[in-house]
Structure 1
Amino acid sequence: LRPYQEKCIDSILTAINNGTNRVGVSLATGAGKTVIFSHLIDRFTVDDPLRSQTLVLVHRKELVFQAATHCANAYPNKTIEIEMGKSHASGTADITIASIQSLSGRLEKYDPNSIKLVIVDEAHHAVAASYTSILEYLGIRHKSDSPMALVGFSATLSRHDGLKLGSVMDKIVYHRDFMTMVKEGWLAQLRILTVQLKRAAQLAELRTIGKNGDYNLQDLSAVVNTDSQVAAAVRIWLKYGAGTRKSTLVFCVDINHVIHMTEEFRKMGIDARYLTGNSNSVARQQIIEEFKEGKFPVLLNCGLFTEGTDLPNIDCLLMCRPTKSRNLLMQMLGRGLRLSPNKSDCLVIDFVAGIQTGIVSTPTLFGLDPDEVVNNLTANDLNSLAQRRKEEAEAVAAYQKEQKLKQITEVRDLILEQDLLISSGVVDSIGRTLAESRYAWVRAKPGEYILQDSLGSTTVDKSELGPMRWTLQHYVKIHVRGMTFRTDNRVIFDDIEDFEHALHASDTYAAREFTDPLLLKNAPWRKTPASAKQVDLLVK
């Protein structure tokens, strides 16, 4: 076993020994989940000698055979049986690999008191009713003192449909993400190329499936399964993937999209083949084997190769199926992460769109915007790019904060200057006159004083008629149906000899035009510190 696989098993056993008997393990695709749980079986023991059986729950045919093969290799002396379709297990084997669909109707042959360990592969499905009914029968659906243990494995231990895994698992005891495993050399390096999706704006208008769910497939197909979109996707692959990539897996939206894409590849002289959920099982296995052997370069699918598919030869992914689900995106990317001889990395060609569409694209996994266009960057490069984007955003935020603080300081200095002028003991005639006024005139700039409320504004400032002349102007705000209009400035007088007479005249005018007591110098609110909201209002 690899070091992290040993550590994973130790973490599981430690948690169970400490009383947590329903645990989850989050491991990136390609980390060897099946290898880990097959070795876990003998390492986990209970005191009850009658409990010796292990039940492995999976939800797809390919996963059943994969798990059975690993267990047979690990335990040649144990009885290993399959419960699926026409294969009927006895219910008493040392290890039973069971399809959820088949097991649901055959539970009566299994004695819960004989089972020590229940393993759930692709455990993000475990909260579905088909799983919970089985766990209920086995007595492990809820937290209990049962010596039986439940261990769930998945690359994506989260649910996009809102159901909580916490209802079937008490704790995720081990996590290892794909970036860590890429850095350590346990998984293949990703090389990412993103392309702006045509008609991307239409994605924002599509229906979704369930609360916070993914795009409605019928709606999505109408956007991406067009002649221009399909031709563009194939041209991109011909430019960047043909000749350099031996095994490309293409993710499509639905069967019609798969067929359309396949025809376009073939039109360009590419030997492309496809598989869907409707494909004959024998033909499916033959095509998979020929693809593994490199007999043709492009395999297309829809909803078939997102989980549990062991195709390590894949060195290119063409992501023609936009999604809002991070889990689905990770599952698709996982197909290209497995190591294989003569495979240095996996090229991911991803079609991206703006954040308003709700799309989750490869750049988003690294903290970048979903429409980030990158050309042939590795996962490490994207991490570095994301760090630079973060530093740039922090620098902009720091600058904006600095400017706002500067504005606040200027406003406070202006207010302080006004307060000092009023209360400093009368150092000049303007100060004395302002101190005598009942209104809180605000110095906007040298030689200009303003009194303003929500209905209008009055300004006393230097007149153009001479350096010692003053003028009074006024405008009115008019509010109509939620909108505000202001009149032009109206000159009340424009030739008063000194500030004292000008302000006294302005006070008389203000008493007639302004009724708001908040404008008075002795208004109670002026004696309390400005609130954060008031300061923010001042600097807007």
Structure 2
Amino acid sequence: MIWRYWATRHLIEELIRIDPDLYSDLEEIIPSLRGEEFDPTELSSKENLVRILMSFTDSTYFEKKDNMRRCLERLPPLVQSGLVRALIDNGYFVKGTSFEDTTEKILKMKWNFRNIGFCRVFQEFFELPNHFLPPEKKSASPFVDIYPLSTENNLIINRPFKNLLDFQVQVYSDAMKKMNVDRSRFVMQMPTGSGKTRTTMEVISNHLKSHPEGSIVIWMAHTEELCEQSFECFIEVWQHLANKPLKAVRFWGKQPLPSAYDKSMFIVGGFSKIMAALRKDPGAFDHLSDRIGLIVIDEAHRAVAPRTKEAIISLTGDNTHVIGLTATPGRTDYDETEEMAEFFFESKVNITTDTGESEIKMLKRRGVLAEIDYIPIESPLDIQLTASQKRYLEEKFDFPSGLLKTVASSNVRNIEIMKKLLYSCQEIDKRILFFSCSVKHSRFIMALLQYHGIGAVHVDGNTSRSRREDSIRRFKDGDIQVLCNYGVLTTGFDAPNTDEVFISRPTQSVVLYSQMVGRGLRGPTIGGTPRCRIVEVRDNITGFAPDQT
């Protein structure tokens, strides 16, 4: 480990650089987790300081030149010579005329995937964990051409066609009846895990098949994960059903504005990307608008936000259908639920049952949804909302970030969280999805898990797409046991074999809560697990307005 060559004071300085409160927090938390096994000298020993630093250092650490410089300048000359030999053996000639000159030559080597050979030699020489390696940055094509299957045109995504289950066929049939009405708008409501996206793709495919070549469908979603998931799901379905050439177009991230191709088109656009294009040029989509026959809004409640509504109206032509997708009937605010119903013409399709049992009960009985084992953790916190926090809750229907950070900073609360996580991680091959209170909180819990020898990673909205994809892949493959996140994996994330969803974030949002819980709901019938644990930290937060209790 590269930090083993540092003096103790340098190790402590580096920990303080990461977080001024980190060391004092660990002095309170780790003895409580260790119990009688705790050695009072554990935290202060050089060996454990190195271990702590390795656990709490961000995966991008070596991308920053100042960090790399400190590491290289503190190497003993003999160790630097060994590193130089290893690099030269792999084709990297970095030997200088002196220790300082060699350090500067190594510093000129970029820590990125294009230089992955150098990074691997460095990582292996110092026995660093793999998560420090830079992930590959994949650039997605702006579009994919899809042709009807033939001897010349093979499957783009090599997966067999999956027929809809009977309850999905029922929703599809009801939706198609709505589509027979000119300029129809309606909501498709299906619980998370019941195949909402897959069923909608069948509706879209039918629409494109039955309309002339050149027809356009636009799918709007709010995260890159949701956009890519929808894009791939459409290709997977359309490639089997296609009766005409079609261009599937990506319009999120750094992708360009779609051109007016003469083929039929399926365009997946990010909300922010579409709205930014319209702000820059209100007529940005005029070259397509008269061909747009269907707009699908992933998460229907977003359609009533003023800017989103304006964007939808701008894209709507003379005979454009609009479908809103949702897993929940509405948001917690009555007026907004009414506004959403009005926007979608008070029209909805959902799963119906002949037996009179609820759709959730039916889906659980058939193994489409997993059975839930709910485990509450009573938090030691008592929090009285301030006047400004009450106002925020009344306006946004959720707690402000400042309160979440306060909750996240409680060491007593984090001790209880870690005790439960460490207990769950004793079960081999169990995968846990952890929802944190803040970015800092997610990183902190991840690092504590790593310190205790548990495979864990962290992702948030600022994590690069390539690193985020790599972390999610490793979680799905079982290479890591706990995936910690803040604000990014409530939607557009599909890991059917998730065994436990751990919700440490307090929320009053029905939509957000159902999205977090929904990550573990996929049952064995659709490749998930028979049961899933939902662990929730319950804080005593008081001071709600009467209509929110």
TM-score (norm 2): 0.60
**Native 8 Å contact 1:46 1:116 kept in 2:** no
Aligned ranges for residues 137-536 of structure 1 at < 5 Å? 137-139=314-316, 146-160=318-332, 162-163=335-336, 164-176=339-351, 178-202=360-384, 206-207=389-390, 208-211=392-395, 213-243=397-427, 246-339=430-523, 343-353=529-539, 356=542
Deviates more, 1:184-193 or 1:294-303: 184-193
CA distance in 1, matches of 2:211, 2:228: 30
Letter in 1 for 2:395: K
Higher radius of gyration, 1 or 2? 1
Q: 1:198 to 1:309 in 2, by over 3 A?
A: same
Check conservation: 1:117, 1:149, Cα contact below 8 A.
Answer: yes
Cross-structure match for 1:493: none
Deviations 1:370-406 (A, max 9, x none): 9xxxxxxxxxxxxxxxxxxxxxxxxxxxxxxxxxxxx
Contact map agreement 1:204 1:356 (CA 8 A) in 2: no
CA–CA distance in structure 2, aligned partners of residues 266 and 130 of structure 1: 42
Partner-residue secondary structure (3-state), 2:322: strand
| Matched AA of 1:169 | F
Tell me what 1:72 maps to: 235
1: CA distance, partners of 2:405 / 2:372: 27
The structure with the largest strand share of the pair is: 1
Residue equivalent to 2:267: 96
Letter in 2 for 1:81: V
Residue 253 of structure 2: aligned partner: 85
Looking at structure 1, the residues matched to 385 and 448 of structure 2 have their Cα atoms a distance apart, in angstroms, of 23
Q: Are residues 127 and 20 of structure 1, via their aligned partners in 2, closer, same or farther at CA, if it must alter by over 3 Å?
A: same
- SS across alignment from 2:434: strand
Partner in structure 2 of residue 128 of structure 1: 305
C-alpha distance 189-29 of structure 1, shift in aligned 2 (>3 A): same
How far apart are the structure 2 equivalents of 1:129 and 1:110? Answer: 24
Aligned to 2:199: 36
Q: Distance in 2 between matches of 1:343 and 1:151?
A: 30
SS at match of 1:75: helix
Task: Please give the alpha-carbon distance, in whole angstroms, between the structure 2 residues aligned to 1:186 and 1:355.
Answer: 35
How far 1:110 sits from its partner (Å)? 4.1
Shift of 1:267: 3.1
Q: Unmatched 5+ residue regions in structure 2? A: 1-163, 240-244, 279-283, 352-358
Change (3 A) 1:179 1:225: farther
2:341–2:347 CA contact under 8 A, matched in 1: no
1:288-322 deviation digits (Å, cap 9, x = unpaired): 10010000101111111111211212110111001
1:91 to 1:62, Cα distance in 2 relative to 1, 3 A: farther
Whether the 8 Å contact between 2:506 and 2:539 is mirrored in structure 1 is no
Instruction: State the SS of the aligned residue for 1:7.
Output: helix
- Name the structure 2 match of 1:52: 215
CA distance in 2, matches of 1:112, 1:63: 23
Aligned residues: 356
Give me the CA root mean square deviation: 2.8
Q: Is the 8 A contact 2:221 2:299 kept in 1?
A: yes
| Contact 2:522/2:528 (8 A) holds in 1 | no
1:497 aligned partner? none
User: Conserved in 2, the CA contact under 8 Å of 1:322 and 1:351?
Assistant: yes
Partner residue, 1:414? none
Q: Give 1:256 deviation, angstroms.
A: 1.5
Structure 2: distance between partners of 1:19 and 1:178: 32
Contact 2:383 2:541 in 1 (8 A): no
Q: Output the CA distance in 2 between the equivalents of 1:312 and 1:101.
A: 28
- Whose helix proportion is higher, 1 or 2? 2
Could you list the runs of 5+ residues in structure 1 that have no partner in the other structure? Answer: 141-145, 360-369, 371-540
Match of 2:185 among 1, 22, 47: 22
Provide the secondary structure at the position in 2 that maps to 1:185. Answer: coil
Following superposition, the deviation at residue 179 of structure 1 comes to: 4.3
Q: Report how far residue 202 of structure 1 moved.
A: 4.0
In the TM superposition, what is the alpha-carbon distance from 1:327 to its structure 2 partner?
A: 1.4
C-alpha change, 1:224 and 1:101, in structure 2 (3 Å) is: closer
| Paired residues of 2:214 and 2:265 also in contact (CA < 8 A) | no
Q: Equivalents in 2 of 1:212, 1:85: separation in Å?
A: 27
**1:425 corresponds to:** none
Matched, 1:10 2:185: no
Corresponding residue of 1:119:
296
* Contact 2:202 2:237 survives alignment (8 Å): yes
Distance 1:346 1:114 in 2: 44
CA-CA distance at 1:220 after TM superposition: 2.4
In 2 relative to 1, CA 301–46 (structure 1 residues): closer, same or farther, beyond 3 Å? closer
Deviation at 1:75, TM superposition (A): 2.0
- Counterpart code for 2:326: S
Bigger RCO of structures 1 and 2 (CA < 8 A, at least 6 apart): 2
TM (norm. structure 1) is: 0.61
1:279 is displaced (CA, Å) by: 0.5
CA distance in 1, matches of 2:396, 2:494: 30
For the 8 Å contact 1:123–1:157, the answer to whether it is kept is: no
Q: Deviations over 1:42-100 (max 9, x none)?
A: 32379974772211111111111111112112223422111123323224442111122
Deviation at 1:201, TM superposition (A): 4.4
